Structure 1
Amino acid sequence: MYEVRTERGITYYTCKKCGRERGLHRKIAKYLAEGYLCENCKEKEKYLERKRKEASPKINVDEKQSELYGDLYEQTLKEARFERAVSRIEKQVKSIDKYKKSINTVHKLLHRPQWFSSTEEIMMAIQLLKDGYKIIHQQKIGTYRIDFVIPDKKVILEVDGSIYHTNKEAEAKRDFFIRKKLGFNWKILHVSTDQINNKLTSIKQVIEESSKLFA
């Protein structure tokens, strides 16, 4: 049974998802047994479920069992990353409503092969689109794949934090190769996962200052 708080004849139910409280003049058995879910969280769950159904590709039952399970696992994993990304953004910003368009756009692209391999990449994409940037995700240059390209700003953004970004010597060699291919007037910015998870909205300032510095 879920715990509730009663004060002056009003029973307060805490949403099991977001923690918001709702006060009612009576006790509701369903909320006590199953827990309370606020209207906002109900709508979110309905929205995510609808998007999951829209995004999930039809699977040929004749495919190998391993491929079937692999595809389903990858879809589930990406959906979990997406939900986690939206939740983390919501905690950082004053109004998630301003992000709805970019959130919807990213979700439509979520299941593309090799795209959005981390929660932070999803957060970055949502923020960049919300800030009005035209971006290319996972652009291949030579043997390398670039996290984000912003052509209008001649800026490349790399999300640091995975095992692929821990070798500084290899990273410098990679950056040189990419700039040699694109032009040395391009900027490569490495953004830590810590910055994305705690100061996501500061990314725009970093991009704009970099553009001025190398203009």
Structure 2
Amino acid sequence: MPEPERRLWFHIRGRQLGVKFRRQHGVGSYIVDFYCPEKHLVIEVDGDSHYTDEARKYDIERTIYLNRKGLQVLRFTNEQVMNELDAVLNVILVEIS
């Protein structure tokens, strides 16, 4: 698991935010970084590989698929998780409230 994902997982695992998250969870043919079944919430942590035009198109298609399955998708960059973790956690808390 990349360091940004590991760092976020440390703060969301074990119901620390009041809900259960699963990591590397399968949804259809996709594997999402973190999934909260109770809130129908997916959290993705995007590294540098997500910045190419092809990767952005793939991420858009993936998000549309997940939304059609009734899931809300939150995306954060590696830099956001590493440098603005409190803000990231606040966004997640607002979404699960």
Question: Would you say how many aligned residue pairs link Structure 1 and Structure 2?
Answer: 92
- The residue aligned with 2:12 is 128
What is the aligned partner in structure 2 of residue 156 from structure 1? 42
SS of the aligned residue for 1:188 comes to strand
Percent of matched pairs sharing the same residue: 26
1:137 to 23, 26, 29: 23
Bigger helix fraction: 1
Show CA shifts across 1:34-63 (max 9, x none). xxxxxxxxxxxxxxxxxxxxxxxxxxxxxx
RMSD between aligned alpha carbons?
1.8
Confirm or deny that 1:178 pairs with 2:66: yes
Amino acid at match of 1:119: E
Structure with bigger strand share is 2
Equivalent-residue separation in structure 1 for 2:89 and 2:82 (angstroms): 15
CA distance in 2, matches of 1:162, 1:156: 19
Rounded Cα–Cα distance in structure 1 between residues aligned with 2:84 and 2:17: 14
Give 1 or 2 for the bigger CA radius of gyration.
1
Runs (4+) of structure 1 exceeding 4 A deviation are none
Secondary structure of 1:131's counterpart equals coil
| Matched residue type, 1:176 | I
Cα separation, 2, equivalents of 1:211 and 1:175: 18
Can you list the C-alpha shifts for 1:86-133, whole angstroms capped at 9, x where unaligned?
A: xxxxxxxxxxxxxxxxxxxxxxxxxxxxxx2x0111111101124343
CA contact (8 A) 1:149 1:156 kept: yes
TM-score (normalizing by structure 1)? 0.39
Distance 1:160 1:146 in 2: 11
In structure 2, the CA distance between the partners of 1:131 and 1:201, relative to structure 1 (3 Å rule), is: farther
Q: Secondary structure at the match of 2:80?
A: helix
Residues 17 and 93, structure 2, Cα contact 8 Å, conserved in 1 = no
> What stretches of structure 2 of length at least 5 have no aligned partner?
none
Higher relative contact order, structure no. (Cα contacts within 8 Å, ≥ 6 residues apart):
2
For 2:28 and 2:48, the matched residues in 1 are separated by: 21
Distance 1:125 1:178 in 2: 21
Q: 1:146 aligns with which of 22, 32, 44?
A: 32
